[in-house]
Amino acid sequence: MSRLRDLALPCLGFALLLAAWEIAGRVLGGALLAPPTSVAVQFVEQLGRGEMLRELSGSLRQMAIGFAAACVVGMPLGALMGRSGVADAIFRPWVSMLVVTSTAALIPLFILLLGTGLMLRVTIVFLASVWYITLTTYNGARGISAQQIAVARSFSAGPWQIFWKVTMPALYPYLLTGARIGLVHAIRAMVLAEMFVIIGYGGLMHRAGLAIDTAPLLGLLVTLMIVSLALNALLGAAGRRLAPWYEQQRVSA
Amino acid sequence: MAVQSKSVADTLKKKSGAGSSFTGFAGRRLPIDRRLLSAASVLVVLAIWQWGAGHVSGFILPAPGDVLGRFLDPKWLTRVASAFGQSLVQLGLGFGLTLLVAVPLGIVIGRSRVLTRMFEPVINAIYAIPPVAFVPFLIIWFGLFLQARVALVFLMSVFDVLVIMISGSRDVRKSLLDVGRSFDASHSQRLRLIVFPALMPFLFAALRVGSARAINGMITAELFFAAVNLGAIMKRATQNFDSATVLAVVLLICLLGLAAQSAINALERHLLHWHVRPA
Amino acid sequence: MSVIELRRDPATGALRAAPKLEVRGITKLYTRDGATLPVLENFSLTVADLEFLVLLGPSGCGKSTLLRIIDGIETCDAGEVILDGKDVTGTTGAGRGMVFQSFELFPWRTVLGNVAFGLEVAGVGAKERTEIARNCINLVGLSGFENAYPHELSGGMQQRVGIARALAIDPTVLLMDEPYGALDVQTRDLLQDELLNIWEKQRKTVIFVTHSIEEALYLADRIVVMSPRPARIEQVIEVPFGRPRREEIKSTPEFLNLRRQIWQSLKKTAHV
């Protein structure tokens, strides 16, 4: 009975939201807030025209490059900083400063440096997500139990073996959480950069914002939301598949 | 949060990590102080950077010396300072609005399991939309000026604060509330004397995250709506290929972020001296 | 179903007619995934005035639940709790003070703040609160620690604060839910003696829950041995030792015999 309630309540919440949206939309009119019914109609049309999906996949591909780079750099860096005091001391000031730097503030700078092409978007996505991945991994690496390493050493494991058989598996949930947090920031950065330069999916949204009817714009927003949630869920599921022994820990970054 | 029994372990952990006994790789001691190493790292990078800017052709990053030079120019400084002040106004308004809305709302939702189950998924869904995507929408609603900027700062920070406050409000230990009931405390007494103090650590976590997001929102707003204040300075500098100014403003915002975090941490240490934070 | 009538006044040995606290026909059901488990079924018990009663039983047998129902912080599905002739079922406060197993001190309050909590809730003025709290803090041997925070105290000290907090509201009945369960043996023994000291000085009716036979025999006037699912009274033991009790009696043959007897009887009803 309570499991039914667990499902029913969120649905009720969404239903309330949709209802409120519908009412507000009708009252305020499509120019201010298109109600879900007209958004749905437009959405189908947008899907049909194909432009939305084309731009979306293009943008996501570029985001993926930046995100992958952030993982490749951030994870080892975080692990290194967590296990080595020297590395921590060297890199810490930079990571601390860069993580609090607004991505938006970096865009004009990198436009000057890199122009407005592929490199800009990849770089912005990279810079927005890499520090979070680093810090999350760092937290995980710091917390690796010295006891577990001692156990491995007592079985005569060498440093490389310890790294792969103890450190990496122990780090796993943090890598996953870091990736998820990084992904959130990567998506944000992608939209940010694209809206600024008016290209890709962000550009679509900017142009939709200039139209009279808000329905297409809202359609794009909802699509973005679905994609964001789906990617996150995908990452989570992939993580659980690869390491089913490990319950997802809640890690704060 | 089992503060009591964790505290001894935490104190021990803290003691072994910090301090002058500096361990290098895999626990081997190093004679150098960690802070010295950090400072050296910064200086070395800056030095290489400065040299590179001067000598390597096609090196487009502005020299640190030039950036510093901007800060030392009094005319530039006054211009930026007044712009900065204006920027802070919308930051204050937007973040203040966030706190006003998200803190009470988060507490209320967190205390009720029904409300949490109903609205947490909805909030998470909306949270999944990058806030900057709302900009065209905000332009339609609020135009291009102060209200729109305040709205963006609000939008960018409100969900983080809300999520943290819901989580904290939900996690107030039932056993502490049982104590309240055992001593016959009324509902409002339990709220005031137990729930609120127990929430304080979460409030500060929310302040830390929310303020960072709000600052982000502040500069995003100034770049995406009608460019004003710091955003205007950045845009103009971009058009003039004045990368030193652009970097200087970036640095300024970065320092603002650090200052905010320090201030919040200091306030927390002062008010919440009973709270032992996990290292 | 068993009903125990309390007859003995521990101080004078005279018969007492009206019990201080009476638990009548308490039933508590626990539902999970559609199945209903009775934790307590038509459970009845009476406690005499100023008696030190111990509820003894294995973990999970419902004794803590019963205590919480008596305190009013948990509801029952049937039955009444009568204190001094008044029905207090389901209400909190009203003459009962509880000490919790995991201390449950408020980490943001000092020792003084914690001890004064019940008084604050009841609306007692600040000056009076502080005075009463200080007295209680002295009583439990923590004078000097009024301004310390819980995280700065050891487990034993924290539980003393818990006891002081319960005593501060001058309850008619003191309810103690395995108060020393989370502490090491030495601290336990120490606190048991301290409790008896305090009790000698400030007699109250006490209902003490534990799963330690030794603790029960050492502290109680009367032991109610319970068995689980649903909770039943297996045995009632009038503890023959005089007061004040000294630690030495724990190693006397009489003590050890009784202890063995109770253990045998508990083993028979234990669920492995």
The yes-or-no verdict on residue B18 having pLDDT over 70 is no
Inter-chain touch A209–B135, beta carbons under 8 Å:
yes
**Does C100 share its domain with C46?**
no
Q: How confident is the model at residue C271 (pLDDT cuts 50, 70, 90)?
A: low
Q: Which of C170, C195, C218 is at the close of a domain? A: C170
Parse chain B into domains and list their residue ranges: 61-271
Whether residue C220 is contained in a domain is answered as: yes
pLDDT value at position B4?
A: 38
Name which of A94, A100, A162 to mutate to probe chain B: the one with the most chain B Cβ atoms within 10 A of its Cβ. Answer: A100
**Model confidence pLDDT, tens digit, residues C206-241:** 999 998 999 999 999 999 998 877 788 888 889 888
Q: Which of C149, C170, C191 is at the close of a domain? A: C170
**Does C134 share its domain with C269?**
no
Cβ neighbours of A188 in B, within 8 Å: 130-132
**Does C113 share its domain with C240?**
no
**Does C16 share its domain with C149?**
no
Cβ neighbours of C150 in B, within 8 Å: 3-4, 274
**Does C155 share its domain with C219?**
no
**Does C218 share its domain with C264?**
yes
Distance from CA of C259 to the nearest CA of B (A): 33
**Model confidence pLDDT, tens digit, residues A85-133:** 888 888 988 888 888 888 888 888 888 888 888 888 999 999 999 999 9
**Does C230 share its domain with C247?**
yes
Cβ neighbours of C96 in B, within 8 Å: 182
- List all chains that touch chain B, counting a touch as 3 or more CB pairs closer than 8 Å: A, C
pLDDT value at position C11?
A: 57
Whether residue C190 is contained in a domain is answered as: no
**Does C118 share its domain with C66?**
no
What separation in angstroms does the CA of A96 have from each of A78, B38, B201, C85, C224? 12, 12, 22, 66, 62
**Does C138 share its domain with C80?**
no
Interface size, chain A vs chain B, as Cβ–Cβ contacts under 8 Å: 170
pLDDT value at position C270?
A: 64
What is the spatial distance between Cα A126 and Cα C218, in angstroms, rounded to a whole number? Answer: 68
Mean pLDDT, to the nearest integer, of C14-18?
A: 60
What is the spatial distance between Cα A176 and Cα A75, in angstroms, rounded to a whole number? Answer: 10
Range of the domain at C39: 1-95+174-180+205-272
**Does C6 share its domain with C44?**
yes
Tokens for A208, please give them: 């939709």
Mean pLDDT, to the nearest integer, of C253-265?
A: 89
pLDDT value at position C217?
A: 92
**Does C91 share its domain with C210?**
yes
CATH of domain B61-271: 1.10.3720.10
Distance from CA of B200 to the nearest CA of C (A): 10
* Structural domains of chain A sorted by starting position, each given as residue range(s) with its CATH number in brackets: 51-242 (1.10.3720.10)
Q: Is A10 at the interface with chain B, CB within 8 A?
A: yes
Closest C-chain CA to B200:
C108
The yes-or-no verdict on residue C77 having pLDDT over 70 is yes
**Model confidence pLDDT, tens digit, residues C126-172:** 999 999 999 999 999 999 999 999 989 999 999 999 999 999 999 99
Query: Could you give the number of structural domains in chain C?
Result: 2
Inter-chain touch B4–C72, beta carbons under 8 Å:
no
Whether the CB-CB separation of A151 and A165 falls below 8 Å is answered with no
Inter-chain touch C92–B189, beta carbons under 8 Å:
no
**Does C67 share its domain with C155?**
no
Say which of C73, C106, C107 has its CB closest to residue B181: C73
The yes-or-no verdict on residue B1 having pLDDT over 60 is no
Q: Which of C112, C146, C170 is at the close of a domain? A: C170
pLDDT value at position B30?
A: 58
Inter-chain touch B4–C158, beta carbons under 8 Å:
yes
CB within 8 A of B77, min separation 6: which ones?
B71
Say which of A101, A192, A221 has its CB closest to residue B250: A101
Whether residue C189 is contained in a domain is answered as: no
Closest B-chain CA to C92:
B184
**Model confidence pLDDT, tens digit, residues C159-209:** 999 999 999 999 999 999 999 988 888 999 999 999 998 998 888 899 999
**Model confidence pLDDT, tens digit, residues B132-150:** 888 888 888 888 888 889 9
Cβ neighbours of B182 in C, within 8 Å: 71-73, 92-93, 96-98
pLDDT value at position A36?
A: 85
What separation in angstroms does the CA of B68 have from each of A78, A108, B62, B247, C106? 30, 19, 10, 10, 50
Cβ neighbours of A187 in B, within 8 Å: 130
What is the spatial distance between Cα B66 and Cα B234, in angstroms, rounded to a whole number? Answer: 16
Say which of A209, A225, A228 has its CB closest to residue B137: A209
What is the spatial distance between Cα C155 and Cα C159, in angstroms, rounded to a whole number? Answer: 6
Output the DSSP codes for B221-245.
HHHHSS--HHHHHHHHHHHTT-HHH
CB within 8 A of C164, min separation 6: which ones?
C115, C133, C136, C137, C139, C140, C142
Report the mean per-residue pLDDT for chain B: 81
Cβ neighbours of B189 in C, within 8 Å: 121
pLDDT value at position C15?
A: 60
Whether residue C186 is contained in a domain is answered as: no
